[in-house]
């Protein structure tokens, strides 16, 4: 076990590192830092200030490294800068271990994480290639990349384990978990904003239940953060990396998320994508989730995305501005729903 000492709520450094070396260590840790050098200096200064003005705590982890990043209650990434390797530590309870192993059984698993080198199931540790945190933007619009994107969504679907849950229990669990995050962070969030988000969550859950008279719902492994800098091209195929926010969600989640980020791809592109993946998904009994005019599944995506954004707000520095990260996203979604008369 290695002891780490906190700098912020989510970032820790190995306890035996000299305090005066920490700024250099942070500056060279690209996964934590912006590309711009001036912004990088400001971020380092912010971390050091937080460290000096907050109570520090110790964390014992089963992996030795330079920097540990908390990505959930019991999940961490540990970075070794010189070796350029990054370890993902997942909670090793029986339930979570089973879920992690289901994820790791996905097709082409060596390509689906950060270049997996080794998996220690006993310790609950995944060792992967360190990508320096900066990934190239390769999504240049042309027919070839459009087709690769469509094939990517199909590949994610057919390589996933499928979980079937009670529909209402799943929706209720999203509501409960969202509210737990709001309560835990009440001191960080304006009361008015918290009430607004809570109201939206309740309204969405009712709309979902009313629009989708289902007994069961099928969930598939969702990447959760598909965008240009989380995709690499390998032999005319797009490979998603950085699976930090992966979880089991409704099958169309990643497509709706991608569509919300890249509306410029246009109506025709998404209509063809939904039609293509609907045909493929029939073999797996998932075709109904890709009928993109079905408003109930869009409402479900919105609720799942609010939960993801709340988790990001709680664990990642880029999402700390509640208004920009969550409130603006909700209002953008609301405007889109009004535009298509949902």
pLDDT, tens digit (0-9, with 9 covering 90-100), for 111-122: 334 556 676 767
Q: How far apart are CA 327 and CA 29, in angstroms?
A: 30
Q: How far apart are CA 111 and CA 133, in angstroms?
A: 16
Question: Full-prediction pTM beyond 0.85?
Answer: no
| pLDDT of res. 61 | 87
59 dihedral zone (left: phi>0; alpha: psi -120 to 50; beta): beta
Under 8 Å between Cβ of 295 and 338:
no
The whole-number average pLDDT for the span 114-138 is: 62
| pLDDT of res. 100 | 46
Average the pLDDT over each of 97-101, 158-162, 327-331 and give the range with the smallest value: 97-101
Q: Which residues contact 331 (CB under 8 A, 6 or more apart)?
A: none
Give the highest mean pLDDT range of 9-23, 32-46, 61-75, 281-295.
9-23
> Which of 312, 330, 324 has its CA nearest to residue 247?
312
Q: How far apart are CA 241 and CA 243, in angstroms?
A: 6
> What ranges in the chain are assigned the alpha helix state H?
22-27, 37-53, 94-104, 109-112, 143-158, 167-184, 191-211, 253-261, 266-281, 295-315, 322, 328-339
What is the rounded average pLDDT for all residues in the chain?
82
Pairwise pLDDT comparison (80 vs 237), residue with the higher score: 80
The whole-number average pLDDT for the span 11-37 is: 85
Give the highest mean pLDDT range of 77-91, 220-234, 277-291, 326-340.
277-291
Show the tokens assigned to 130. 């360190």
Show the tokens assigned to 148. 């690769």
Show the tokens assigned to 23. 């700024």
The whole-number average pLDDT for the span 264-293 is: 87
Pairwise pLDDT comparison (336 vs 307), residue with the higher score: 307
How far the first Cα of the chain sits from its last, in Å, is: 53
| pLDDT of res. 121 | 67
């Amino acid at each position: 076990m290695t002891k780490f000492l906190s700098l912020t709520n989510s970032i820790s450094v190995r306890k035996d590192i000299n305090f005066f070396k920490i700024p250099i260590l942070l500056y060279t840790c690209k996964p934590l830092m912006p590309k711009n050098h001036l912004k990088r200096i400001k971020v380092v200064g912010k971390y050091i200030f937080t460290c000096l003005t907050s109570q520090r705590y110790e964390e014992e982890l089963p992996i030795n490294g330079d920097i540990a990043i908390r990505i959930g209650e019991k999940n961490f990434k540990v970075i070794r800068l010189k070796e350029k390797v990054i370890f993902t530590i997942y909670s090793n309870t029986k339930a979570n271990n089973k879920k992690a192993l289901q994820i790791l059984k996905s097709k082409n698993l060596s390509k689906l994480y950060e270049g997996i080198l080794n998996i220690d199931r006993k310790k609950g540790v995944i060792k992967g290639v360190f990508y320096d945190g900066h990934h190239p933007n390769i999504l240049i619009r042309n027919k070839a990349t459009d087709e690769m994107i469509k094939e990517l969504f199909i590949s994610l679907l057919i390589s996933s384990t499928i979980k079937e849950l009670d529909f209402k229990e799943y929706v209720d669990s999203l509501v409960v978990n969202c509210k737990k995050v709001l309560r835990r962070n009440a001191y960080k969030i304006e009361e008015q904003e918290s009430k607004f988000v809570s109201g939206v969550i309740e309204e969405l859950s009712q709309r979902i239940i009313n629009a989708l008279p289902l007994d069961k719902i099928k969930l598939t492994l969702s990447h959760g953060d598909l965008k240009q800098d989380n995709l690499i091209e390998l032999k005319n195929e797009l490979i998603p990396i950085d699976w930090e926010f992966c979880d089991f969600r409704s099958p169309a989640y990643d497509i709706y998320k991608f569509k919300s980020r890249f509306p410029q791809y246009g109506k025709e592109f998404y209509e063809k994508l939904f039609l293509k993946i609907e045909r493929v998904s029939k073999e797996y009994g998932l075709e109904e989730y890709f009928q993109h005019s079905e408003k109930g599944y869009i409402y479900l995506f919105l609720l799942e995305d609010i939960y993801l954004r709340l988790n990001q707000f709680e664990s990642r520095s880029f999402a700390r501005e509640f208004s920009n990260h969550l409130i603006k996203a909700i209002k953008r979604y609301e405007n889109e729903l009004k535009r298509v008369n949902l």
